[in-house]
Structure 1
Amino acid sequence: MMNRRQALRTGSLVAVGGVTLAGPAIAGGAEQPFRHGVASGDPLPDSVLLWTRLTPSADATPGSGRGGESIVGWEVAHDADFRRVAARGRVRTGPQRDHTVKADVTALDPDTWYYYRFSWRGSTSPVGRTRTAPAVGSEVARLRFGVVSCSNWQAGHFAAYRHLAERGDLDLVIHLGDYLYEYGAESGAVRPHDPPVEMTTLEHYRRRHAQYKTDPALQALHAAAPFAVTWDDHESANNAWAGGAENHTEPDEGTWVERRAKSQQAYAEWMPVRYEPGGKLYRRLTFGSLAELSMLDLRSYRSEQVAHPFDGGVHDDERTITGKEQLDWLTSGLTTATSQWKLVGNSVMISPVQFPSTLNTRELEAIADVVGPIEGVPYNVDQWDGYTSDRAAVLRSLRDHGVSGAVFLTGDIHSGWATELPADPLTYPLSGDSVATELVCTSVTSDNIDDYLNLPPRTLSLVVEAVIKLANPHVKYLDFDSHGFSVLEVTPAHVRMDWFRLADRADPASAAEVTASYRVPAGTDRLERTPRSMDGVTPRHEAATGHELAAARRQALARQEAR
């Protein structure tokens, strides 16, 4: 008999809320037609989207285009034994959608946990658990969300997902982008990508999505709670924009329009999201009167990034990161919302960040590897810093309409941040108020500064963090080293995030510990550090003294010289 941890590592079960949810065995499971697990997403008060992938025959592998059409049944029940079935139906699938299955189940009760499963020719899928959103306008005492981004298969195992799956207290998981990576196989990878080449074709994108969904920890998390997802760039190609990408080469890799369409088709097929190619990914979910969540798409409509931060185009009113229609939708939603908290699923940082010239070349190179081409100057032009007109429009709308409770939830930058968003960054905090806050989760596995510098964590990065915070007083928390996940708690009294750090991203059984906890008290749009996490654990990372910073820098530089 396997114990619970061993079973989780093999993907065979996850226990949630006292109920065991079955999962497929990854190895030797050719007879299991639902070998990519189950998932749910985009919960509404009366409906939720269910997902799975059928393998109807041995040759119908992801991306192959083989296999005939099939009818797949689905059931939703109030209990894990399916004695009290709430809804059932059937869905047709086939090679035209890579045998993936989506069922948008309606007429459900609000604010209710459900169990679901799929069936085909006598075989039954793993059982998943999902939850509908609270009724519109209803009072909600508390919500808890997992918040994750930047999960590179090659850089490590997804222990962060395992920890979230084991919690049993999450109403939703928010994935802020870079769910997968387009890169080919890399030497020294913890586990190599399939296919071993950079994704450019529909077959490539489908196979890569399929590979990620064989991960047992990811399967466990999808089975434990619904997801709200958006893409960033790596779901298609690095530093993507409306007309191209930094690592897309024409004509060798075809046209960008063709490549983007292929990536979006595979995303629509393989992700539990209400999106079909040609539609809009940005959307809004509501959770009673307590919160609403606006999920943005910051790749499909954006103007090309400027060549360097000195380019005056960063302030050009004609350049956009959102597109006009999405920007109007966002600002209108923020200024007319009736919910107390206005959460924004935001794939790249909106906070202004200046990188001081006091950092040396090696430190700046490491930061650039994580956040983008900064070249030792104030802006990362791939995030909102490169599109200041759109950012000013958002912050101005919040200020002019007296909106309180806007919290941007962000990924992308492989580091943890807690920042206030001043209407006028140049005079903050001496004058001007914070009009919103931003909470940035670190990467699940993707490299950060200590990985690029090949140094122990919490050494040289302490110096870099201290200098950046000094130059940016609105930045209250910064961790450039950790891999892991965050948990967000939303109550009428506050929005609060805990950051969790993995002990070893290369270990699927890695432990995790809380490193910091910050909250936004209701009505303040300001950040407060909280000494204890939601689990009652005291955060480990404390502010370092000047002596500690200097000692850390000397030790780190000595290690570099020794190499």
Structure 2
Amino acid sequence: MTNTIDRRTLLRLAGASAGTAVLAGATLTGAAPAGAAGGAFRHGVASGDPLPDGVLLWTRLTPTDEAQPGSGVGPEAEVTWQVAADPDFATVVAQGALTTGPARDHTVKVAVTGLAPATTWWYRFGYAGAWSATGRTMTAPPADADIDRLRLGVVSCANWEAGYFSAYRNLADRGEVNLVVHLGDYLYEYGTGEFDAGGSVVRPVLPAHEVLTLADYRIRHALYKTDPDLQALHASVPWVITWDDHEVANDQWSGGAENHTPATEGAFAARVAAARQAYAEWMPVRTGADGAIYRRLRFGRLAELSMLDLRSYRSQQASGSAVDDPARTITGDAQMSWLKSGLAASTARWKLVGNPVMIARVDLATLPAWLLGPIGRLLGVPENGVVLNPDQWDGYNADRNELVDHLRATGTRDIVFLTGDIHTSWANEVTTRATGTATPAAVEFVVPSVTSDNVNDFLGLREGNALSVLGADLLRATNTHVRWTELDGHGYGVLEVTRQQCRMDWYHLADRTRPGSASRWVAGWSVAAGSSTLRREAAPQA
């Protein structure tokens, strides 16, 4: 049955500019601005994981000056919360109170239920007679609703020391985004100067050392939540988030990480437990009873979004022909089964996958073994070619083949992978030996980093230099399924989902090291419903 949504609801769902203008002026008299150095709610407000009948709300209370993040001190305190149908809170539809304290680092998370679907809501928190800044969020449409359009802001890889989070501010100011999808590396674990802006620290992290303990991770999360651009985007729309490796340590796998030395840094399991606890406290994200973060959200009949966890269950990274070993996994058996069955059974038009690391093949200086034939096996060439980055799905060929084979066997179409991790911009068609080079099984849009170093930063050259351009040209020449790539820009993506197509537009910053940097459109690619072939798009009309 068709569920008709009126124009007012569609405008709400489309995040109309007028709604953003209202939000900008919605901070109440007497409320401490979200970014205030003092005030009880100095770390801002956020919402996440919207459902048709509810949404998750978040804030952090500073009840006394000594109750600093990671300190483990300060009193228990009661925080009130309200959800309203208007920014002035004339019509409060839900409210309550809960107690927080040092055991959860004075963070507050409320799973609000009983709300109407496909509706814009305003929310705030209260303590000791003062209100927080006002946030705006939305509930998802019913699972059977026919909606025309959904716009997602897509981001990844925000390194504090490498610059300012102007990409977040630009997204918040667009006024058209319904939802932000963050694909991981929300923060970085490094100590100051260990990973910055091409060798220069733009702004130093806290704590100054690499984060290892629960207190360390809490302090690092708190630092990020003081950024005014991040606060603005959190307060304007709900987020759907997953983690990648740097929320714990670089190149994390289920039993360790490249950036973890047990002899000097202690048991890896203890570090993971500390990082995961801080993450659960500080992020507006729902987790399962066992701490699992992979989950699925639906937006009417138009789209279903499956968010993956590609760190907690994966085998250690390998190289050479070991990347073909079917005993190795990037997803783990349970998550792979959940992913395959969910995609195949979905009745949504578009099946979106929040995929922290690239799934498309990137062959380096060789054809894949399945094109070389027996000589490829004799030379020890991996099935899909010499692997450039074994931390991606390239390092786990059996899992990628299993997923693609299942999609082909079940006739599952209209799959779009949304990817982060590698700091650069790509539009890919997903191919394997089974698909051949002409019949891709899905498409993939990879967004650039918010600030983390790219190719030109590592080279110490300007953006768009000859070496970066040559590198992009070579990647496309040796990987025909890579339809476009750009290796230098920092910024974000905007995905527009309609019944007819999914379109990604990439926007890059003028200068990540400058506060308030503007962004510019650099490319657009789309895929039509029923197809897995990408097509280039012109710049969107202003």
Q: 1:276 deviation in Å?
A: 6.5
CA deviations on 1:99-124 (whole Å, 9 max, x unpaired) are 00000000001100000000011011
Show the counterpart of 1:354.
363
5+ unaligned residues in a row in structure 1: which ranges?
A: 1-13, 359-375, 538-563
Contact between 1:291 and 1:343, CA under 8 Å: does it hold in 2?
Answer: yes
Q: 1:425 deviation in Å?
A: 7.3
Show the counterpart of 1:329.
338
CA deviations on 1:16-46 (whole Å, 9 max, x unpaired) are 144324385577632x100000000000000
2:419 paired residue among 410, 417, 422: 410
Q: Which amino acid aligns with 1:345?
A: G
Show the counterpart of 2:353.
344
Show the counterpart of 1:453.
459
CA pair 27-519 structure 1, distance change in 2 beyond 3 A: closer
Show the counterpart of 1:550.
none
1:163 aligns to what SS in structure 2? Answer: helix
Q: 1:398 deviation in Å?
A: 1.0
Q: Which amino acid aligns with 1:394?
A: L
Q: Which amino acid aligns with 2:167?
A: A
Q: For the residues of structure 1 that align with 2:364 and 2:181, how far apart are their CA atoms? A: 29
Q: 1:330 deviation in Å?
A: 0.2
Q: Which amino acid aligns with 1:55?
A: T
Show the counterpart of 1:476.
483
CA deviations on 1:469-508 (whole Å, 9 max, x unpaired) are 0100000110100000110000001000000010000111
Contact between 1:292 and 1:341, CA under 8 Å: does it hold in 2?
Answer: yes
Q: For the residues of structure 1 that align with 2:97 and 2:355, how far apart are their CA atoms? A: 35
Q: 1:251 deviation in Å?
A: 2.8
1:181 paired residue among 181, 188, 192: 188
Q: For the residues of structure 1 that align with 2:66 and 2:52, how far apart are their CA atoms? A: 40
1:16 paired residue among 20, 31, 37: 20
2:408 aligns to what SS in structure 1? Answer: helix
Q: 1:532 deviation in Å?
A: 2.0
Alignment of 1:41-190 (within 5 A): 41-186=48-193, 188-190=200-202
Q: For the residues of structure 2 that align with 1:15 and 1:504, how far apart are their CA atoms? A: 29
CA deviations on 1:308-357 (whole Å, 9 max, x unpaired) are 3x1x2211111100000000000001111000100000000000111227
Q: CA RMSD in A?
A: 1.7
Q: TM-score, normalised by structure 1?
A: 0.86
Show the counterpart of 2:433.
424
2:37 paired residue among 29, 38, 58: 29
5+ unaligned residues in a row in structure 2: which ranges?
A: 1-17, 194-198, 368-384
Q: Which amino acid aligns with 1:158?
A: F
Q: For the residues of structure 2 that align with 1:266 and 1:73, how far apart are their CA atoms? A: 22
CA deviations on 1:493-542 (whole Å, 9 max, x unpaired) are 10000000100001111111000001111111111101122xx16xxxxx
2:265 aligns to what SS in structure 1? Answer: coil
Q: 1:275 deviation in Å?
A: 2.0
Q: For the residues of structure 1 that align with 2:34 and 2:58, how far apart are their CA atoms? A: 18
Q: For the residues of structure 1 that align with 2:36 and 2:92, how far apart are their CA atoms? A: 32
Show the counterpart of 1:544.
none
Q: For the residues of structure 1 that align with 2:55 and 2:113, how far apart are their CA atoms? A: 7
Question: Where in structure 1 do 4 or more consecutive aligned residues deviate above 6 Å?
Answer: none
Q: For the residues of structure 2 that align with 1:19 and 1:300, how far apart are their CA atoms? A: 37
Q: For the residues of structure 2 that align with 1:516 and 1:154, how far apart are their CA atoms? A: 27
1:320 lines up with 2:354 in the alignment = no
1:444 lines up with 2:474 in the alignment = no
Show the counterpart of 1:499.
506
Q: TM-score, normalised by structure 2?
A: 0.89
Q: Which amino acid aligns with 1:91?
A: L
1:350 aligns to what SS in structure 2? Answer: coil
Q: For the residues of structure 2 that align with 1:416 and 1:78, how far apart are their CA atoms? A: 38
Q: For the residues of structure 1 that align with 2:494 and 2:308, how far apart are their CA atoms? A: 20
Q: Which amino acid aligns with 1:530?
A: E
Q: For the residues of structure 2 that align with 1:379 and 1:516, how far apart are their CA atoms? A: 25
Q: For the residues of structure 1 that align with 2:249 and 2:443, how far apart are their CA atoms? A: 29
1:252 aligns to what SS in structure 2? Answer: helix
Residue correspondences, number = 498
Q: Which amino acid aligns with 1:305?
A: Q
